[in-house]
Amino acid sequence: MVLRGPVRTAARRFAEVVCPPGVRAGDRTDRVLGELELMLGALQPTARTAVAAVFVLIDQAARLHPRARGRRLGRLDDEAADAYLRALLARPGTAAQLAGRLKSLVVMCYYELPEARREIGYDPDPYITAVSRRRLDRYSADIRATEAGVAAPDPWQDRR
């Protein structure tokens, strides 16, 4: 799914506000949106449409927030945008729930970026390579024997 027009604008501003400030470095926001598009592609069509609508709704509903003075989220400065989303997320009810789910989805996409992972000290690939090699070094005979037995006959011996 490709985010276009007002939905993309709304999603972009939402991502800038909910993700850590590092999202603004380089092309990270675009890449978060790219990851988000892929995630939306995995949803059912009705859910995709609903997500797009919620982005636009959140953008427009900012107009009702006292500090927004009638402006939508995309037009708010960082402080006002942050205050609006804080208020929205803290309000009990469905609106907060929907906004919360979108926030989860977007920040998940952010923490998939390799540099965001590195910045928090998560670098699993060399570790996985090392422990996988150790596994093969230590247990290869047993592993080979088990793999070879996957299709071995195993009929029930007794009759009930």
Sites of contact with another protein (CB under 8 A):
17-22, 35, 38-39, 41-47, 82, 85-86, 89-90, 92, 97, 101, 103-105, 107-112, 116-117, 119-122, 124-125, 127-128, 131-132, 134-135, 138-139, 142-143, 146, 150-151, 153-156, 160
Query: Tokens 């592993």 identify what position?
Result: 143
- Alpha carbons 130 and 52: distance in angstroms, whole number: 42
Q: How far is the CB of 35 from another protein (least distance, A)?
A: 6
Residue 43 Cα distances to 48, 50, 99, 112, 155, angstroms: 6, 10, 17, 18, 42
Q: How far is the CB of 87 from another protein (least distance, A)?
A: 12
Of 35 and 59, which CB lies nearer to another protein in the complex structure?
Answer: 35
Of 77 and 154, which CB lies nearer to another protein in the complex structure?
Answer: 154
Going 133 to 137 to 142 to 148, the CA torsion angle's sign is: positive
Q: How far is the CB of 136 from another protein (least distance, A)?
A: 8
- Please check whether residue 106 is in contact with residue 19, taking contact to mean a CB–CB distance below 8 angstroms: yes
Of 70 and 142, which CB lies nearer to another protein in the complex structure?
Answer: 142
Of 70 and 90, which CB lies nearer to another protein in the complex structure?
Answer: 90
Going 130 to 134 to 137 to 140, the CA torsion angle's sign is: negative
